[in-house]
Every structure is written in structure tokens, then in C-alpha cells.
Amino acid sequence: METKPLLRVLAGERLDPPPVWLMRQAGRYLGEYREVRARAGSFLDLCYTPDLAAEVTLQPIRRFGFDAAILFSDILVVPHALGQTLWFAEGEGPRLAPRMAETALEALTPAPERLEPVLETVRQVKAALPPEVTFIGFAGAPWTVATYMVEGRGSRDQATARSMAYQEPERFGQLIDAIVDQTISYLLGQIAAGVEVVQIFDSWSGTLSPEQFRAWVIAPTRRIVDAIREKHPGFPVIGFPKGAGAKLVEYARETGVSAVGLDETVDPAWANAALPKGLPVQGNLDPLALRAGGAALDRAVDAIREALDGRPHIFNLGHGILPDVPVAHVEQLLSRLRG
């Protein structure tokens, strides 16, 4: 019988208090992370150095006793494996070249061996995790990864990728197919190396029309979920389509995910009423409420728990933890949840 709280919730059980972990829980708000990050030299070097990536994955577990550890890596290792050059410009974020807006997919030389250090990180973390802690792997969803590959960087409205999807659907579809195939291989590799859950991050799904959402978010996500389950029946997959709003209902119904992550803009009471009965949900504390702390944080935590009472629930943020969140506020959150 499964004893890990997070896996029990993903199997449909309601627990009080709910299990908790935080997106970006290994990050700059922790002094111990900043120390390792400085030693690594660059963010990408940190992602690709298994000893260091494993260390920062484990840091928040040691400090806070979260119910899950999430692999420390980045969603853009997949385009790197597909053959794009990847680097992080200091203070400006990721860069990818060549831009797929003007480059044929055939011009790239795939380099899947670039993912091997990440899989070694998984093996090292798995060997060191406390037995009650669930290990979460992840990948970016095909739509979100494609927006970076097309533009060569992050963008405010993903207009270049959205335009390409409308104007050149066949070429855009080929790019999505390549991302899907690489993502399936990558996630199956993480599972073989020891993760027990995977989360699919669709950070930019909120800019798509309903028709485009079905084509470029729901359908590719379904293919990934089906491929994982073909090899590992019943394996838990958390889907996080940030900004999806009312489209969450169709996403939950059609993708086959085990649980849906709610961003901070979703009313949890609406989600509880609208989503399929018994489907586990994850979320959705506003990261700014965590930064605020005090009575505002307590009220926000209580409101989410009340709204989702009776539904299997994993407590989390609605997006990643902010770098300037005081450690004391995370401790307050855990105290409020766990009593």
C-alpha cells in the first residue's frame, strides 16, 4: 500500500493536511542555493553538473521537509537536445539559436546526449531522498517549448509562435511533433532513473484561442501522457497549463493527466465546482501572498483549503516562488498548513 502522502493524493485520496511542495522551491530565496549557484559559474552549468544539481534539489527538503522534491533543471534542455544552441544571458534570460521562425527543423543536428547529465542528477537525488518524500520530474509542454524555439527567447505574448501556428500549421506541427518525441524520451528516461511523478509545465498556454489550445496544448499533452502510460500504466502526471482559465475543464477531461495545477488567477471554488469530480488539483497560492507573509498569507492559505475541502489537493503556489521571499514566510506557510 502506498504511504507517500503526495502519491496517495494523486491516486485520489484526500489528506488533511494536504501534502505540500512549491514550484521553484530550489532557488534564489535560499542562501545555500546562491552559494552553490556561485560555485557552478552559470545557470546552465548548474543544470548540467549532476553533483551540484542534486545538491540544490535536496536543499529545500532538508530545510523545510516538503512532501516532494522536484528535479532541478530547465525546460529548455529539450530544445538543446534537439540541436539548438542554448545559453542564458545574465539579467536577460534564456537564448536559443538558430531561431526556428526562420530555420528548417532539418537544419538542426539532434544531440540527445546533452540530457544524460540531467538523468544522472535524477539517479543521485533518488539515492539520497528520505523514503517518505516523492520525487517529481518534469518537462516543458510542447507549446511552451516551441514558443522559445521559434522566437529564440521568451516573449511577452508569444506572437511569433502564434503567427507561425496560424500561417504555417504544417511546419509548426512538425516542430511540435519533434518536441513531443524528444519529451517522451526524456520523461521516460527520468522515470527509469527514479522519478515517481512527472509534471508538464505549459507556462504560456494562456495566450491561445480555444481552437489553438486544443491543437497545440491538449493534443500534444495527450500524446505524451499516453506514451508514458503505455510503458508505465497508471503513472501519475500533473498538468500545469498556466493561464488556461475556463479551458482547464477541457484540458482536464481530454489530456488524461492525473492532476491539474491551478495558477493563482483561478478561483479554487470555481475549479472545485467545474473540474471532474474527484480529480486531484494542485495549487494555487499567489506567490505575492507568500512574499507578503503575516495575516495576508494566513488568510490566503485558509481560503484555498476551504474552497478545495473534500477534493484531493496538493498545496502549492500558483507559479514559482519569488527570489525575494523571506525564508520565514515559507516556514509560516508550513506551520499554517500543518498546524
28 is catalytic: yes
Backbone angles phi, psi at 124, to 5 degrees: -70, -40
Report the DSSP pairing between strands 313-317 and 281-285: parallel
Task: Report the amino acid identity of residue 241.
Answer: P
Is 298 an annotated catalytic residue? no
Give the position of cell 515559507.
330
Catalytic annotation present for 37: yes
- For residues 118 and 73, the answer to whether their CB atoms sit within 8 Å is yes
* Number of domains, the chain: 1
Q: Which residues form the domain of 238?
A: 5-338
Give pLDDT, residue 92.
82
The per-residue pLDDT for 203 is 96
* Residue 142 cell numbers, joined: 510542447
SS3 26: coil
The model's pTM: 0.97
User: What is the DSSP code string of 253-267?
Assistant: HHH--SEEE--TTS-
- Cα–Cα nearest to 213, from 180, 258, 184, 243: 243
Q: Among 14, 28, 63, 222, which one carries the catalytic annotation? A: 28
Whats the size of the chain, residue-wise? 339
Q: Are the C-beta atoms of 110 and 82 separated by less than 8 Å?
A: yes
Contact present, 172 and 105 (Cβ < 8 Å):
no
Q: Which of the residues 8, 24, 162, 311 is marked catalytic?
A: 24
- Regions of the chain with pLDDT less than 70: 1
Q: List the catalytic residue out of 29, 33, 48, 148.
A: 148
Separation of alpha carbons 159 and 173, rounded Å:
16
Q: How far separated are the first and last CA of the chain, in Å rounded?
A: 26
Beta strands in the chain (DSSP E): 68-70, 85-89, 93-97, 134-140, 197-202, 237-241, 259-261, 281-285, 313-317
Exposed e or buried b per residue across 189-227, where buried means at least 16 C-beta atoms within 10 angstroms of its C-beta: bbbebbbbbbbbbbbbbbbbeeebbebbbbbbbbbbbeb
Q: Is the peptide bond before 94 cis (omega within 30 degrees of 0)?
A: no
- The CATH number covering residue 235 comes to 3.20.20.210
The confidence score (pLDDT) of residue 337 equals: 97
- Residue 176, C-alpha cell as written in the block: 511540435
pLDDT of residue 91: 78
The pLDDT of residue 339 is 86
Per residue in 66-105, pLDDT (tens digit) is: 999 999 999 999 999 999 999 998 778 899 999 999 999 9
The span from the CA of 62 to the CA of 48, in Å, is 22
Catalytic-labelled residue, pool 8, 33, 48, 74:
74
267 is catalytic: no
Q: How far apart are CA 26 and CA 53, in angstroms?
A: 10
Decide if 158 contacts 207 (C-beta within 8 A).
yes
The one catalytic residue among 37, 162, 223, 311: 37
Helix-helix angle 219-231:248-255, to 10 degrees: 30
